[in-house]
């Protein structure tokens, strides 16, 4: 039995974002006697301790936003020169992966994967122009293309063929439990008669929290006994907190920060609300469906996220009252929540299946 093949994953940090959650789900479930994960990051992350417990090494270089283009390139080049024994580099930085893979190619690393997790770049004009430049480096420097959805593949790779790796989850841990629902609601001091709308996502432009608060403000005009639970952190949080105050909703909106128990949290919600401006294929929506939660979501999200169990409604993100009306309809119909493990596995969203697929993919590269 030889040593496992070590894969170098490149991310900004290992915090609880969608891509990072997927990587950790894969890492926990992959056959670690055959495959080990190492990480090249730029900032500390909440998963760092667990990564080291699972046998992974974490390398760190300063991020481009802290040191600028030339210093960042220099750090990348010298990192790959000193660590040229890696056979496979797996970059998860959307367009910024171009710079990483260019350095990896220069150092002679044979397999270089670019993985698309999104359908649009974040940031202002200067940042988007820079990302466009970095994105143009992908095709000449990647040997393999992966994406979480067809839409995410089209965005980053245009018409080049890419393999789809589904955002698998540990389905059984999300199964609905009335008992867990009651426990979590007690923790939050929410009684059983209150309608709970929930959202999971970082406070960033993409997640469209401003619109989400407007929808909720409209909804509570007629549904007095309702609360909105927001899970996540991010740069726009202070602005959203201020908006909630200005609308005098602070007694009805709970900011619960980053949570490690999303599988429990989802049990307490009545509706999952997700008005994103763009997404690759959100892990959080797969999780919500696994928990049997009705979801009202933006029509900018790929239809590939629909598990075919009648839990999703897609709405345009320019009409608050339409969302509010839909929420009223959905919450008035509250039926018993059911468990849909089989449907998710059938669609290929069970993490064991995804981890196995990825293991075979990696092993075929190193052969």
Please give the residue that has the higher pLDDT: either 129 or 106. 106
Reported as a single tens digit per residue, the pLDDT across 140-159 is: 999 999 999 999 999 999 98
Instruction: Write down the domain spans for the chain.
Output: 5-168+350-366, 172-346
Token pair 């490149």: residue: 10
H or E segment at 7? Answer: strand 5-10
Q: Which residues contact 359 (CB under 8 A, 6 or more apart)?
A: 30, 31, 34, 35
Q: Token pair for residue 21?
A: 């959650």
3-state class (DSSP) for residue 34: coil
pLDDT at 36 over 80: yes
pLDDT at 125 over 70: yes
Neighbours of 6 (CB within 10 A): 19
pLDDT at 194 over 90: yes
pLDDT at 8 over 80: yes
Confidence of residue 367 (pLDDT cuts 50, 70, 90): low
Token pair 């950790």: residue: 24
**CA pair distance 22, 200, nearest whole angstrom:** 15
The distance of Cα 292 from the centroid of its chain, to the nearest Å, equals: 19
Query: CA neighbours within 13 Å on the CB side: how many for 189?
Result: 4
The predicted pLDDT at position 332 comes to: 86
Sheet strands side by side (includes 5-10)? 58-60, 35-41, 5-10, 88-91, 111-116, 144-147, 163-164
- H-type alpha helices, the chain: 18-29, 48-53, 64-67, 69-82, 97-106, 125-135, 138-141, 150-157, 178-187, 209-222, 237-246, 262-268, 283-290, 320-332, 341-346, 351-366
CATH numeric code, 5-168+350-366: 3.40.50.2000
CATH numeric code, 172-346: 3.40.50.2000
pLDDT at 2 over 90: no
Confidence of residue 10 (pLDDT cuts 50, 70, 90): very high
Same CATH fold, 172-346 and 5-168+350-366?
yes
Reported as a single tens digit per residue, the pLDDT across 299-343 is: 999 999 999 999 999 999 999 999 999 999 998 876 678 766 678
The predicted pLDDT at position 174 comes to: 92
Q: Token pair for residue 203?
A: 């406070």
User: Taking residues 237-263, what's their average pLDDT?
Assistant: 96
């Amino acid at each position: 039995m030889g040593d496992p093949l070590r894969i170098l994953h490149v991310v900004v940090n290992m915090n609880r974002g969608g891509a990072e959650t997927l990587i950790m789900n894969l890492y926990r479930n992959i056959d670690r006697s055959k495959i080990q994960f190492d990480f090249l990051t730029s900032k500390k992350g909440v998963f760092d301790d667990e990564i080291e417990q699972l046998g992974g090494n974490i390398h760190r270089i300063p991020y481009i936003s802290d040191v600028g283009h030339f210093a960042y390139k220099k750090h990348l080049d010298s990192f790959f020169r000193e660590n040229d024994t890696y056979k496979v580099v797996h970059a998860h930085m959307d367009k910024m992966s171009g710079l990483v893979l260019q350095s990896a190619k220069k150092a002679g690393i044979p397999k270089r994967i670019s993985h698309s997790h999104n359908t649009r770049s974040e940031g202002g004009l200067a940042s988007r122009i820079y990302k466009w430049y970095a994105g143009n480096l992908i095709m000449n420097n990647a040997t393999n293309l992966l994406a979480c959805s067809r839409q995410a593949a089209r965005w980053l790779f245009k018409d080049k063929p890419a393999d789809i790796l589904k955002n698998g989850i540990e389905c059984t841990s999300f199964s609905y439990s009335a008992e867990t629902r009651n426990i979590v609601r007690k923790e939050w001091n929410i009684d059983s008669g209150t309608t709970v709308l929930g959202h999971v996502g970082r406070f960033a432009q993409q997640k469209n929290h401003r619109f989400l608060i407007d929808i909720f403000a409209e909804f509570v005009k007629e549904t007095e006994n309702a609360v909105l639970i927001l899970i996540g952190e991010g740069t726009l949080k202070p602005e959203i907190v201020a908006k909630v105050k200005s609308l005098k909703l602070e007694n009805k909106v709970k900011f619960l920060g980053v949570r490690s128990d999303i599988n429990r949290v989802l049990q307490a919600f009545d509706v999952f609300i997700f008005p994103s401006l763009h997404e690759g294929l959100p892990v959080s929506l797969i999780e919500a469906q696994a928990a049997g939660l009705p979801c009202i979501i933006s029509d900018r999200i790929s239809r590939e996220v629909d598990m075919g169990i009648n839990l999703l409604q897609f709405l345009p993100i320019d009409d608050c009252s339409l969302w509010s009306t839909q929420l009223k309809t959905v919450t008035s119909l509250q039926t018993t929540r059911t468990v849909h493990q089989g449907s998710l596995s059938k669609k290929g969203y069970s993490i064991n299946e995804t981890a196995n697929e990825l293991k075979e993919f990696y092993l075929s590269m190193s052969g």
